[in-house]
Each structure stands twice: as structure tokens, then as C-alpha cells.
């Protein structure tokens, strides 16, 4: 289904760049306390999960975006809003994103759904929860949607709904979009953060990685050609984008799922707006707003919760209702 979006931006946030900075750099979220659990993965690596629990019988798994982590404001805000609505929360730090390099030469990427499966198996083993919801932002949203589509009708019955925001459903289109001139400051920041990650990896695996000539990397595609693709078994960046994008999997999603993308998101190409796929799948609801930027959706908060957090809570409380 494709539905109208109820988000109304404040006039000052009609500029998507101002909107993104305020939402992701200037916002402060208090009141969330985590307990960290290190989860061993089947391939001998680890994931650091940050739990915020009050003994509820349902839990939301929250997955951050590119170079994010569990302490980003958008993750903390979602954890706080869900807890107030009666959910425990598990904020996933993808490999290498918890403040400590992971053990393997590779780290995380947009299609690495096996780690999400490992997290869900762990939650099932705990035997504390009657239901699980998935919440994903940006890269994490792509992971969630791809995972749901891959599993289709074989999805664990404990997973009952999902909400995603600012999802680059077509990774190739999104990579081109973020490399456009108006996004050069964001791109420079991402490449700087990724370089720090590669440098840390190179100290551990000098035979596999180095940063020689890193200055020649000008786009995300350059980075993915040099590092992401070879480290994770893809032929090149285009092969990675084709195989890791969630868009081909959307029609197979079989649980109530909400996808919200803003039309003014500086990082999303037109191909990231999955109208056709949503129209073909009654389980997938697509909402597009005129404004909202990338993981933004700032408005006048209600008890500190932004529109995106209130919308996620409302959907997860009753996913059968639009």
C-alpha cells in the first residue's frame, strides 16, 4: 500500500540540510540506560548489543545507519519512545561500530542480514519475549527490509512487524546521489570515518588492508570497489549494490511493515522510492513526506518524542491499522 504521510515539517526545517544537522548532530536524548551484551557470531566474530529493558514481554530490535551506533540520537530517541509504550529495546551495534574493532578482516555492509538472524535467534533463546519488532534507519533499514524479504513466509513467528526510515532501497542510486556536489560535506565526513575504521583494521590485518592512496577515493563507489566488495565476496561495487539492495526483496515481505522516506532526503535517488513494490505487496506500507530529510522528521516533540518515534510506536502498537 502507498499511503499519505501525516508528517508536517516546521518551516525552519524545510531546508533538508538544516533539518539533518539539527536531528542528527544537535539533538540530545536523555533517560536511556543500556546493558551491553556481547553476542558471539557463528563465524567467530562478535556483535555488541545494548539492551534497555524493563521486563516487558515484547522487544524492539533497532538497527542504526552507516557509521552509526547505539548512542546516536535517532536510536536513543526511538528506544526511549518504545520503552514508554511498553517495549524493551535491543540496539544493535553492527560489526566494528561498538567502539572496538571486530575480529575479522571484514566488518558490516548493507546486505549482511545473517547478523540480524543471529540477533533474533539469541532473543528467541532468551525465552522472555512473546513478540519482536524490527526498526531500521538508513543502512539499517535496508538490512531489515532485505532480511524480511529473504525470509518471506519462513520468517520466525516471533517477528510480528517492522518500521524503517530513510531507506536507500536501491544502493546504486543512493551511492550516486550522495556523491553529488551538494552532498560533498557529508561524503567527506563518511569517508573520513570509514578511513579510521580501515586504519584500525590494517593494524590488525596488514596483509589484507592498507590505506595507501586513500586520498584518491572520491565517492562511496570508489570506497566500495576498493574495500567493501573484495572484503565481503562481491565482484565490485555494482555487484555489491545489486545483491545487497532490499528493493528486489520487498514484494516477498510477509509481515506488516512500514517504510517512510522523505522526498527531500539528500541521500535518496528516485529509485529508492519503492512505489511499485508497495502497491504489489499488501504487507508493505510506503509513506512519503514532502519534508523530513535523512533520518530527520523533526517537529514539536511530545514528551521528547519526534514524529518519527510517535509514528513508529503507533504502527507497532497496531500494525494492522494504517
> pLDDT 10s per residue in the chain (322 long)?
888 889 988 888 889 999 998 888 888 899 999 999 999 999 999 999 999 999 999 999 999 999 999 999 999 999 999 999 999 999 999 999 999 999 999 999 999 999 999 999 999 998 889 999 999 999 999 999 999 999 999 999 999 999 999 999 999 999 999 999 999 999 999 999 999 999 999 999 999 999 999 999 999 999 999 999 999 999 999 999 999 999 999 999 999 999 999 999 999 999 999 999 999 999 999 999 999 999 999 988 787 889 999 999 999 998 765 5
**Of 288, 79, 61, nearest in space to 162 by CA:** 61
Give 65-107 pLDDT, tens digit per residue. Answer: 999 999 999 999 999 999 999 999 999 999 999 999 999 999 9
Give how far Cα 21 sits from Cα of 32, 69, 248, Å: 22, 17, 31
Any domain includes 105 = yes
Cα separation, 91 vs 69, in Å, equals: 8
Q: Quick one: 90 and 63 in the same domain?
A: yes
What domain range is 55 assigned to? 2-170+249-317
By three-state DSSP, how is residue 205 classified? coil
Please state whether beta strands 88-93 and 46-52 pair in parallel, antiparallel, or not at all (unpaired): antiparallel
**Of 237, 97, 247, 109, nearest in space to 169 by CA:** 247
Distance of CA 146 to the CA centre of its chain: 11
- Provide the domain count of the chain: 2
CATH code at 305? Answer: 3.40.50.1820
Q: Quick one: 310 and 274 in the same domain?
A: yes
Give 4-55 pLDDT, tens digit per residue. Answer: 889 988 888 889 999 998 888 888 899 999 999 999 999 999 999 999 999 9
**Can you give the pTM of this predicted structure?**
0.95
Q: Which residues are catalytic, by number?
A: 138, 265, 294
Q: Quick one: 267 and 313 in the same domain?
A: yes
Cα separation, 298 vs 318, in Å, equals: 23
At residue 11, the pLDDT reads 86
Q: Quick one: 204 and 307 in the same domain?
A: no
Which of 244, 279, 299 is the last residue before a domain boundary?
Answer: 244
Q: Quick one: 6 and 117 in the same domain?
A: yes
Q: Quick one: 103 and 147 in the same domain?
A: yes
At residue 4, the pLDDT reads 84
Amino acid at each position: 500500500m502507498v499511503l499519505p504521510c501525516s508528517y508536517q515539517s516546521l518551516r525552519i526545517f524545510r531546508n533538508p540540510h538544516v533539518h539533518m544537522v539539527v536531528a542528527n548532530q544537535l539533538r540530545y536524548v536523555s533517560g536511556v540506560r543500556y546493558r551491553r551484551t556481547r553476542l558471539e557470531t557463528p563465524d567467530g566474530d562478535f556483535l555488541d548489543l545494548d539492551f534497555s529493558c524493563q521486563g516487558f514481554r515484547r522487544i524492539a530490535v533497532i538497527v542504526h545507519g552507516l557509521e552509526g551506533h547505539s548512542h546516536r540520537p535517532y536510536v536513543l530517541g526511538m528506544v526511549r519512545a518504545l520503552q514508554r509504550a511498553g517495549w524493551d529495546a535491543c540496539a544493535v551495534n553492527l560489526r566494528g561500530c561498538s567502539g572496538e574493532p571486530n575480529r575479522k578482516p571484514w566488518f558490516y555492509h548493507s546486505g549482511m542480514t545473517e547478523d540480524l538472524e543471529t540477533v533474533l535467534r539469541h532473543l528467541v533463546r532468551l525465552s522472555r519475549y512473546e513478540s519482536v519488532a524490527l526498526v531500521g534507519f538508513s543502512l539499517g533499514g535496508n538490512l531489515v527490509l532485505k532480511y524480511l524479504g529473504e525470509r518471506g513466509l519462513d520468517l520466525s513467528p516471533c517477528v510480528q512487524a517492522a518500521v524503517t526510515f530513510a531507506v536507500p532501497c536501491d544502493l546504486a542510486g543512493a551511492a550516486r546521489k550522495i556523491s553529488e556536489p551538494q552532498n560533498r560535506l557529508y561524503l567527506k565526513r563518511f569517508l573520513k570515518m570509514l578511513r579510521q575504521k580501515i586504519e584500525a583494521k590494517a593494524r590488525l590485518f596488514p596483509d589484507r588492508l592498507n590505506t595507501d592512496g586513500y586520498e584518491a577515493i572520491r565517492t562511496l563507489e570508489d570506497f566500495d570497489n576498493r574495500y567493501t566488495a573484495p572484503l565481503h565476496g562481491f565482484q565490485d561495487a555494482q555487484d555489491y549494490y545489486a545483491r545487497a539492495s532490499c528493493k528486489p526483496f520487498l514484494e516477498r515481505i510477509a509481515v506488516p511493515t512500514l517504510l517512510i522516506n522523505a522526498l527531500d532526503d539528500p541521500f535518496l535517488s528516485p529509485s529508492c522510492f519503492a512505489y511499485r513494490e508497495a502497491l504489489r505487496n499488501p504487507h508493505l506500507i510506503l509513506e512519503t513526506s514532502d519534508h523530513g530529510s535523512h533520518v530527520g522528521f523533526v517537529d514539536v516533540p511530545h514528551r521528547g518524542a519526534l514524529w518519527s518515534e510517535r509514528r513508529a510506536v503507533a504502527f507497532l502498537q497496531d500494525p494492522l491499522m494504517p
